Amino acid sequence: MAELMKGMKRTGRLTDFSQDNIGEQVTVMGWVRKRRDLGGVIFIDLKDISGILQIVFKKELNEELFEKAETLRNEYVIAVKGLIIKRDEETINPNLTTGYIEVVASELRILSEAKTPPIDMEENSKTNELMRLKYRYLDLRRQTMQDILLLRHRIYKITRNFFDENGFYEIETPMLTKSTPEGARDYLVPSRVNQGTFYALPQSPQIFKQLLMLSGFDRYMQVVRCFRDEDLRANRQPEFTQIDLEMSFVDVDDVIEVNERYLKKLFKDTKNIDIALPIKRMTYKEAMERFGSDKPDTRFGIEIVDLSSAVKDCGFQVFTGAIKNGGSVRAINAKGCGKIFSRRDIDSLGDYTKLFGSKGMAWIQVEQDNLKSAITKFLSEEEIKTILDLMDAAPGDLICFIADADEKVFNILGTLRLEIARRTNLLDGNEEMNLLWVTEFPLLEYDEEQKRFSAKHHPFTSPMDEDLSLIDTDPGKVRAKAYDIVLNGEELGGGSIRIYDQEVQRKMFSLLGFTDEDAQERFGFLIDALKYGTPPHGGLAYGLDRLVMSLAGTDNIRDVIAFPKIQNASCPLSSAPSIVDKKQLDDLGIELKKD
Amino acid sequence: MAELMKGMKRTGRLTDFSQDNIGEQVTVMGWVRKRRDLGGVIFIDLKDISGILQIVFKKELNEELFEKAETLRNEYVIAVKGLIIKRDEETINPNLTTGYIEVVASELRILSEAKTPPIDMEENSKTNELMRLKYRYLDLRRQTMQDILLLRHRIYKITRNFFDENGFYEIETPMLTKSTPEGARDYLVPSRVNQGTFYALPQSPQIFKQLLMLSGFDRYMQVVRCFRDEDLRANRQPEFTQIDLEMSFVDVDDVIEVNERYLKKLFKDTKNIDIALPIKRMTYKEAMERFGSDKPDTRFGIEIVDLSSAVKDCGFQVFTGAIKNGGSVRAINAKGCGKIFSRRDIDSLGDYTKLFGSKGMAWIQVEQDNLKSAITKFLSEEEIKTILDLMDAAPGDLICFIADADEKVFNILGTLRLEIARRTNLLDGNEEMNLLWVTEFPLLEYDEEQKRFSAKHHPFTSPMDEDLSLIDTDPGKVRAKAYDIVLNGEELGGGSIRIYDQEVQRKMFSLLGFTDEDAQERFGFLIDALKYGTPPHGGLAYGLDRLVMSLAGTDNIRDVIAFPKIQNASCPLSSAPSIVDKKQLDDLGIELKKD
């Protein structure tokens, strides 16, 4: 039976004490993390959220107490009264704040015993992740996990304080709501009171935050849970957290300005990193042309070069064919890789590009006085020289070519560029934090299959003022007031200025192929709302989990969530989702489908 | 077509300006709230989240501009450039921060036109609530609504900062989880990936916050959405917000102490009200005996008095019978009501008690030299005198008696006491904030129908140390380490110290009639977790919506939620819940039940 804490009061957390407290009587509580018996002396590493404090039991001082201390096992929860003394010189641990002191115990209560943990509790636990998630409450006792969740707590705080100080109001939006038009699948919640109808859990509070602007709230922010019923890829969770913002009477620069100050503050206060402002901006077009990605990792070069005009008349059918079909020939220079990569390595790179739809990768290996390549025979000396010049080629380099439709070329070379960086460990030890705004996204994407446009961002995204007239004449060319913030090749967040003009909104819906009825059915209450005086407004949403990952330096999303789900959207700890009583389903007027 | 904001930048919010800014050129934006035409001058009340600023258009200055201003209607969104000048003395409005100034317009852009609002937009809107909720985005433009949501924002901020400063960490718990054992109905979410299984939306994060304590997080807080699929009573919402707390290594006094400092801070910083600490405490027993309620409104007397010994031998069968059956006879003195209430009023009070299960209310009307009553004839003079003494009766008073089982007597007189206060407007103009801790709740309630105990709070609530031995001998007598915080008769929050001893937890489950299997099935992962070293812990949860209501001085819960649901759990704005595509149900492997 556990002993009662009755009458005992903790003096403080374990690392509240230091050399300054030597000679003081204290009461401390925590988990036994380690016990060492050295003859007549027992040392305990006592652990709480703050860290470790050393407790000493000495047989010569109190034999009964000593014997009780001998029964202590790892993870027992104990309360100890004792005297803080200075450690012997040779046992000082300068790495701990409490490393100079220890508590000589005069009283011990075993508040809770513990079975042997079924998982390895060391910082670098050897237990597989599934087991650790099943015993998450033990896994979370590791300092590394606690540090991440404490960092997450600080991120909430810095975020909320910053936006409060900048005139944003935190307002809660509904969780039981109607489908939002984000494309992904909704989680549905059957209604019992109105049988046959369903709520949807929000994919984002998009419509509600726009309504709040229409309501005059001027600046809104919320740290908010969102839901997407997707087939989980790695680093996706069915429920995730957004830092969601919206502002009235603003244009692109206003949203960017306040968010830059936020990011500067966040990086400074969490990692002591100074972000230089303004953060670099790059248009979508430039990002695609140089890096083959709308979230380019700008920590390294290997940029894409357009060789189309250099090879447009060459003898290599693959190149000229692509150009004739309206595509292009582009290449990257994998600096030094000509020396490092074997022929087999290069072939494997070519195979890799095929995963992303390439029909083949041409290449030139540049040697001191020689070029190795299967394509040089189709090129004139002049053409080769131009290519080498344009690619800034030097001996040891490897030039990789893709010829295809532009979009494909960008995508393939953009991916290849990252793969080469990975294979050459180019970023090992790189601690840069390269923030980048990508701007001027296309408003629309043309869906070849459905033969119609779809919204690149969402249907409420505003065209750029300069491109307004193109809506009627060449909608595919219209650029949007949309922007993403990218960190080291990962999208931290994105947003846009919204349409506040009913006429433009109507055109947008018509471009997207919505009839008035469709639009009314799907977004009716927002469309109605636009009629009663709408301020220009726009916003942004950060993926909080991703942001914490970046700042915590982990690439596992489950490390930054206290109780995460695994790939099949289940929770190994609670076993959710689970079977429910038939009566519960009856109440809801639903039943399982028989096949 | 709306005009573009392009190039225009807001100088500030409307009430950022005052006499200090006279002579400055500014750009301001907002909604037209009122337009007055006085011959060659048009005055506009421009409104934003901060308040009102007066704009002036003068025909003599710019005729074209003046004509444009003549087209302005209420709720148009406009941008104005102009000069801040001092108002004419006679037009000064000292009630507004901007009441001494106005902006003489030199440029006007109509950013958005507006149809005539379908609801009355005055502060005391005459439109019925359902319509206002349908057009919530217009309803929220009223200053009173904005003030409440801005207060709510400040409450979040004060709350989070306070608990952060006191060592609490905000940690998010899952929304897609397993049923919690709170008794009420869960909202279910069908799983697509694991067809036939369901998530439940949390009724509270109870189990997860306890697990966080077991994980060593020491102090946790979260402002968290919770869900209950109940038949909605007034002032209930299917989704509601809790301020949820949990602390390790604490007993009752520790939880109370930190929360008292929180409440003091909250009331001071929002309402400038000084709460005297410590807040009064009252045991559950005393609260029931004196006020007939576990959330007594202590702003007024009319306390319950036990008359059982005074009437135990009297000639009134109803009284003696109740006492013989183990019940009691108790009364309240409605001071002065003997004079105010007619015979019909008194009968109506009697009828009112029947709604709460009374078999009848006896009463004595005390007049100067006379008693009016139907029961005095059954009482001796001695008995009458004792009653009048005990009731502190004076001419004009009305004494109301209930004789029944104790629980019923408390409930009926407790309710009657509130009703009398309402009918006599006793609390009109009363601005007291009477905070009260109610403590020492019973651990268990006996369910006569099911012939077994159920948990008064929840199955993890710890017995009081003093009563531990009663668990085996007289469980109905065991008091719990449970506490509620009550404000003016409303429960703001409640909590308890939890069981941290596996043995006690096992006994508790067995008292509640759970087999080991039941317990394992329902709370398995928490029971398992208790085996690996559990710190003493406890916590509290506030109903945030209720807290905001108290501080905002409204008794309508929909006033404190941006997008609330109505009684049938639907949202008049979004029309959620709604019918979904059959395809969506197919994906989930469910179908609507045919009857």
The per-residue pLDDT for B515 is 84
Min distance A76 CA to chain B CA atoms (Å)? 5
ipTM over 0.90: yes
Contacts of A195 in chain B (CB under 8 A): 592
Name the band, by pLDDT with cuts 50, 70 and 90, for residue B180.
low
pLDDT tens-digit series, residues B427-471? 998 989 999 999 999 999 988 787 888 888 888 999 999 999 999
Tokens of B292: 């007939």
Instruction: Give the Cα separation of B308 and B313 in Å (integer).
Output: 9
Min distance B331 CA to chain A CA atoms (Å)? 40
Locate the DSSP E strands across A150-214: 169-170, 188-190, 198-200
User: Among the listed ranges A157-161, A328-332, B119-123, which one has the minimum average pLDDT value?
Assistant: B119-123
| For chain A, percent of residues with pLDDT exceeding 90 | 84
pLDDT above 70 (res B277)? yes
Residue of chain A whose Cα is closest to the Cα of B171: A153
Among A32, A185, A591, the residue with its CB nearest the CB of B593 is A591
Residue of chain B whose Cα is closest to the Cα of A142: B215
Among B1, B238, B465, the residue with its CB nearest the CB of A4 is B465
Contacts of B587 in chain A (CB under 8 A): 185
Q: Are the Cβ atoms of A239 and B137 closer than 8 angstroms?
A: no
Please tell me what DSSP assigns to residue A323. Answer: H
Q: Tell me whether strands B239-248 and B219-227 are parallel, antiparallel or unpaired.
A: antiparallel
Selected residue with higher pLDDT from A227 and B96: A227
Helix (H) or strand (E) holding A399: strand A398-404
The per-residue pLDDT for B139 is 97
Among A4, A77, A577, the residue with its CB nearest the CB of B535 is A77
Q: B146-282+435-561, superfamily in CATH?
A: Bira Bifunctional Protein; Domain 2 (3.30.930.10)
The per-residue pLDDT for B184 is 80
CA B222 vs CA A121, B178, B486: distances in Å:
27, 19, 21
Among B169, B211, B574, the residue with its CB nearest the CB of A153 is B169
Is B2-112 in CATH node 3.40.50.300? no
How many CB atoms are located within 10 Å of the residue A122 CB? 9
pLDDT above 80 (res A523)? no
Among A167, A170, A571, the residue with its CB nearest the CB of B177 is A571
A-interface mutation test, from B44, B123, B142, B189, most A Cβ less than 10 A away: B189
Q: Are the Cβ atoms of A208 and B238 closer than 8 angstroms?
A: no
Instruction: Give the Cα separation of B333 and B338 in Å (integer).
Output: 10
The per-residue pLDDT for A372 is 93
Tokens of A578: 């689970």
pLDDT above 60 (res B182)? no
The per-residue pLDDT for B270 is 97
Q: Are the Cβ atoms of B577 and A2 closer than 8 angstroms?
A: no
Q: Are the Cβ atoms of B533 and A465 closer than 8 angstroms?
A: no
Q: Tell me whether strands B537-543 and B239-248 are parallel, antiparallel or unpaired.
A: antiparallel
The per-residue pLDDT for A456 is 85
Among B112, B217, B565, the residue with its CB nearest the CB of A49 is B217
Q: Where are the domains of chain A?
A: 2-112, 146-282+435-561, 300-423
pLDDT above 60 (res A182)? no
Average pLDDT over residues A200-220: 96
Residue of chain A whose Cα is closest to the Cα of B464: A6
Give the domain B300-423 fold.
Answer: Gyrase A; domain 2 (3.30.1360)
The per-residue pLDDT for A455 is 87
pLDDT tens-digit series, residues A461-509? 999 999 999 999 999 999 999 999 999 999 999 999 999 988 898 889 8
Average pLDDT over residues A389-395: 96
Nearest one of B435, B492, B540, B556 to B155, comparing CA atoms: B492
Start-to-end CA span in chain B (Å) = 52
pLDDT tens-digit series, residues B232-254? 677 789 999 999 999 999 999 99
The per-residue pLDDT for A263 is 98
Name the band, by pLDDT with cuts 50, 70 and 90, for residue A520.
confident
pLDDT tens-digit series, residues A15-52? 999 999 999 999 999 999 999 999 999 999 999 999 99
Average pLDDT over residues B208-234: 93
Selected residue with higher pLDDT from B486 and A453: B486
Among B77, B187, B231, the residue with its CB nearest the CB of A189 is B187
Number of Cα atoms under 13 Å in the Cβ half of residue A526: 26
pLDDT above 90 (res A513)? no
Cβ contact B526:B487 at 8 Å: no
Please confirm whether the linkage preceding A577 is cis (ω < 30° from 0): yes
Q: Are the Cβ atoms of A216 and B49 closer than 8 angstroms?
A: yes
Name the band, by pLDDT with cuts 50, 70 and 90, for residue B1.
low
pLDDT above 70 (res B183)? no
Average pLDDT over residues A159-169: 98
User: Among the listed ranges A232-241, B208-217, B290-299, B311-320, which one has the minimum average pLDDT value?
Assistant: A232-241
Q: Are the Cβ atoms of A153 and B173 closer than 8 angstroms?
A: no
pLDDT above 80 (res B524)? no
Q: Are the Cβ atoms of B137 and A529 closer than 8 angstroms?
A: yes
The per-residue pLDDT for A183 is 67
Please tell me what DSSP assigns to residue B50. Answer: T
Average pLDDT over residues B207-234: 93
A-interface mutation test, from B247, B578, B594, most A Cβ less than 10 A away: B578
A-interface mutation test, from B150, B163, B188, most A Cβ less than 10 A away: B188
Min distance B367 CA to chain A CA atoms (Å)? 53
Name the band, by pLDDT with cuts 50, 70 and 90, for residue A180.
low
